[in-house]
Amino acid sequence: MGQRSALVVIGNEILSGRTVDKNINWIAEQMTGRGVPLTEVRIVPDIEAKIVEAVNGLRAEYDYVFTTGGIGPTHDDITAASVAKAFGVEFERHQEAYQVLLDYYGPAELTEARASMANMPRGVRLLDNPVSGAPGFALENVYVMAGVPRIMQAMFGHVLSEIAPGAAILSNTVFCDLQESLIAQGLRAIQDRYGVVDIGSYPSFRGGVLNVSVVLRGTDGEAIAAATKEVLALIDEKGGEIRSQSFQVDVGD
């Protein structure tokens, strides 16, 4: 098995429904593109014990763990202290981070609240924040980033520089007008023949009618191409019509 990643989203505002998370899908796409698939996500409230539990559970299981949210200057920003607790290390003023804040705000504007964003677990690597100054940080395989999407995305550039790319994850998608139950048996047989291809079947409504997208995903292009051909033949056999298709792997003719 290749490298895998996980994400902890920290934020009462997501759990209350006030804010729609925009980071999960963005990070998922990034990591699929990197060949280090996002394999688990947890959304937890601003409660230290829940953050510690999620970070410690996931950092033991996955190669990389990302967190978003809770690293600002206010009383509800408890991520950095919680991560220190998770690792059992000191939570202290990081001198280089403090200097970054001093340069960004200037001495007159560097209030104690702002300076508190330089309090971090001992031993971290800083993640540059070209958008709003205060850096994120990484400790071992855990990357702690802001929740504001624009800031998180800016920090993620640095994160990617530390992640060795895995084998490219390729996918072919076929969208057709059949109900998935009509191709279920045939799909299972194709899945059984192509163990290295991850075949997903995703129903959706369009115009009040159930359709299905079949997604064939994996790192073995030849197997994906061969399995895709069989899926196309199956849909044709069942009288379905292809409404759209998107192929990263050419299936030939």
Task: Please give the residue ranges that form the binding site for a copy of itself (CB under 8 A).
Answer: 12-21, 24-26, 28-32, 37-46, 50, 72-77, 111-114, 116, 132, 148, 150, 169, 171, 173, 180-185, 187-188, 191, 198-205, 210, 215, 217
> What minimum distance in Å lies between the beta carbon of 29 and a copy of itself?
4
DSSP 33: H
Cβ atoms of residues 12 and 71 within 8 Å: no
> What minimum distance in Å lies between the beta carbon of 97 and a copy of itself?
15
**For residues 99 and 204, which CB has a smaller minimum distance to a copy of itself in the complex?**
204
**For residues 108 and 253, which CB has a smaller minimum distance to a copy of itself in the complex?**
108
**For residues 192 and 222, which CB has a smaller minimum distance to a copy of itself in the complex?**
192
Cβ atoms of residues 104 and 135 within 8 Å: no
> What minimum distance in Å lies between the beta carbon of 210 and a copy of itself?
6
Closest by CA to 125, choosing from 151, 152, 154, 161, is: 161
Maximum C-alpha span of the chain? 74
Measured CA to CA, the distance from residue 97 to residue 125 in angstroms comes to 10
Measured CA to CA, the distance from residue 198 to residue 216 in angstroms comes to 6
**For residues 2 and 203, which CB has a smaller minimum distance to a copy of itself in the complex?**
203
**For residues 127 and 152, which CB has a smaller minimum distance to a copy of itself in the complex?**
152
> What minimum distance in Å lies between the beta carbon of 149 and a copy of itself?
9
**For residues 37 and 121, which CB has a smaller minimum distance to a copy of itself in the complex?**
37
Q: How far is CA 208 from the centre of its chain?
A: 31
Q: Which amino acid is at 133?
A: G
Measured CA to CA, the distance from residue 161 to residue 166 in angstroms comes to 13
Cβ atoms of residues 128 and 151 within 8 Å: no
> What minimum distance in Å lies between the beta carbon of 171 and a copy of itself?
8
> What minimum distance in Å lies between the beta carbon of 239 and a copy of itself?
14
